[in-house]
Amino acid sequence: MTANLRRRKWFSRFFEILCGLAVVIALIPLAMILFYVIKEGAGALNWDFFTKMPKPVGESGGGMANAIVGTLILIGIAALFAVPVGGICGIHLAEYPGTKFSSVVRFAADVLNGVPSIVVGIFAYGILVLPVKRFSAIAGGVALGLLMVPIVVRTTEELIRLVPGGLREGALALGATRSRAVFGVILPAALPGILTGILVALARVAGETAPLLFTAFNNRFWSTSLTQPIASLTVQVFTYAISPYDDWHRQAWAGAFLLVMIILTLSIAARFAVRRLERMNRS
Amino acid sequence: MKRSSDDRSFRIGTGAFAALVLLIVLGIAFELTRQSALSIAKFGLKFWTTSTWDPVSGDFGALPFIWGTLYSSILALLLATPIALGIAIFISELSPRVLRQPLAYLTELLAAIPSIVYGLWGVFVLVPIVRKLELATPAALKKIPLFNGPPLGVGMLAAALILAVMVIPFTSSVAREILKNVPSTQREAAYALGATRWEAIKVAIGFGKSGIIGAVMLGFGRALGETMAVTMVIGNSPQVSASLFKPQYTMAAVIANEFTEAADELYLHALIEIGLLLFIITVGVNLLSRMLIWSTKRRAVAPTIVTPIVAEEVAA
């Protein structure tokens, strides 16, 4: 082996190790965040957290019952808006993939996906808060829905395309119309995957804070009214985190723990569902 | 006949929902422009070049926020890019096959953690660590403008660090996909010429260069619009400074903090104008990055189609 080759091999080895090191460096913050969220959050999480209302400053105890319900209401509104819009849009893109219109819409969905969530919040504020001069659960839910739309569009399109072409051709050959073929045969085949995709999208928007700050705002009291300001887990965690009280910090960690657990569970479940779907397709 | 009319109404019906997605994007652009009209009319271009931010006297200039956003995002990019590319290379080229999926999944988990959780961790864990670092900085170094400033913990450095972590998964997953799309003939050719493993990887990177630049820009777009985590650790003090230790402010953070306090219309319009610029910049950055990624993927497909023809010619 010449000296030159030895030098090149050593060089190669060196950079390979650096790449491995990069993986380790990225996993350190991940491990740290999960460690602290579990350490600080799991201890603070108790039954009261789920069932009690926030206590006034100075009194210890209390929970985030209103914020948990608020988050559920908000993501419910988001899903009501985003699933039909994004789902049907995704069906159109999958059924007519090559048209100019489809590529423009696909492009628009990509743009929407890259718009910062706080900007989407301003938009929701402009169309739903400003005209009635009141923060509301509807405005917050729609803001989250707008963020969900591009994810639902992409999931639906991709999963419909995963459905074996033979199914579609079979339906059409039997004389089914396009809509019968889609809604009766193709969509049911892709549905488990699409549903898990929607769950992941819901988990993602449930963790959003910025677009809620001036749409759903916050509410210290119990409220399920859609036209009133409403509390949410994320905004509550934010409020507590920047407060100077130790008891509130503990509650913030508990809220963060709950959020992370929801998201981890859903994303792991989705992973298995998609893998199963892919295996089904191959066979 | 009935069948074709049914097909047409299906196409138009689903198309209406698709058009709605297009309308949403146009609606955002329209609404942001409309709601910032007062500020645009009153300040014009001066809005972007002056530093006064005085809601009481109604005088607004957004320069410190633009500076904070660009500076923090660029710093984050400098930190995140080598790591993200290292991850992409390791997973797609070096890692044992069994580790590939789990490692990809773990790094992508970084993208699933909500911004507010990053912020919470930033405030209670990262900021104290940064403060210790700042206190340990020797006085001689502090004379350099880069390290000049009070040891508060909150500030540009904490923001850049947290942004870097948040951006890594986006850049690395796109870069990994680009590398996966590089035809294996490229690497094989390099090995055939006696290249070492790293030299073959360099060939693959060279082939996917523009796509990898696209991946980095995608991360940049994410960093520009990131709100909560940055708001919680950057210190929220509007100033144009190169210092890593001084608290600063970003466009997204000022919107998050002051939007509900904006009592008069001009103040609100000034904040929304910042949102408008943020929209324009992020859309521009995203478009450019998608074009780069798309062109690389297209190029990656072409040679595999060409190869068999060449092979036949040689055989003939």
Instruction: Print the SS3 string covering A97-149.
Output: CCCHHHHHHHHHHHHHHHCCHHHHHHHHHHHHHCCCCCCCHHHHHHHHHHHHH
Report pLDDT for A145: 97
Q: Which residues pair with B248 in a beta bridge?
A: B235
Give the mutation candidate from A27, A99, A115 for the B interface (greatest B CB count, under 10 A).
Answer: A115
Percent of chain A with pLDDT strictly greater than 70 = 97
Tokens standing for B297?
A: 């993927």
Tokens standing for B90?
A: 């390791």
> Which residue from B20, B268, B16, B15 is spatially nearest to A142, judged by alpha carbons?
B20
In whole angstroms, give the CA distance from residue B223 to residue B221: 5
pLDDT over 80 at A1, yes or no: no
| Chain B residues within 8 A of A21 when measuring between CB atoms | 86
ipTM here: 0.92
Report pLDDT for B306: 42
pLDDT tens, residue by residue, A127-154:
999 999 999 999 999 999 999 999 999 9
| Chain B residues within 8 A of A101 when measuring between CB atoms | 15, 18
Average pLDDT, chain A: 91
Report pLDDT for A281: 65
B295 touches chain A (CB under 8 A): no
Task: Report if pTM > 0.95.
Answer: no
In whole angstroms, give the CA distance from residue B269 to residue B32: 9
For each of chain B's 316 residues, which pLDDT tens digit applies?
A: 566 788 889 999 999 999 999 999 999 999 999 999 999 999 999 999 999 999 999 999 999 999 999 999 999 999 999 999 999 999 999 999 999 989 998 998 999 999 999 999 999 999 999 999 999 988 888 888 888 888 899 999 999 999 999 999 999 999 999 999 899 899 999 999 999 999 999 999 999 999 999 999 999 999 999 999 999 999 999 999 999 999 999 999 999 999 998 889 999 999 999 999 999 999 999 999 989 988 888 877 654 444 444 444 444 3
| Chain B residues within 8 A of A15 when measuring between CB atoms | 198, 201
Residues A177 and B3 sit within 8 Å (Cβ to Cβ): yes
Give residue B131's identity as a one-letter amino acid code.
R
| Chain B residues within 8 A of A123 when measuring between CB atoms | 27-28, 31-32
B12 touches chain A (CB under 8 A): no
B18, B34, B115 ranked by CB distance to A92: nearest? B18
User: Do residue B28 and residue A125 have CB atoms under 8 angstroms apart?
Assistant: no
> Which residue from B218, B221, B223, B220 is spatially nearest to B115, judged by alpha carbons?
B223
pLDDT tens, residue by residue, A84-121:
999 999 999 999 999 999 999 999 999 999 999 999 99
| Element at B233 (helix H, strand E) | helix B228-233
What residue of A is the nearest CA neighbor of B285? Answer: A114
Residues B66 and B48 sit within 8 Å (Cβ to Cβ): yes
Percent of chain A with pLDDT strictly greater than 90 = 65
| Lowest pLDDT segment from A14-18, A53-57, A239-243 | A53-57
Report pLDDT for B254: 96
Residues 32-71 of A with CB under 8 A from B: 32-33, 36-37, 40
Q: Say how many residues make up chain A.
A: 283
Report pLDDT for A282: 62
Give residue B214's identity as a one-letter amino acid code.
G
Q: Which residues pair with A62 in a beta bridge?
A: A54
Report pLDDT for B212: 95
Helix (H) and strand (E) counts for chain A? 11, 0
User: Do residue B18 and residue A102 have CB atoms under 8 angstroms apart?
Assistant: yes
Report pLDDT for B308: 41
| Chain B residues within 8 A of A238 when measuring between CB atoms | 116, 119, 228, 232
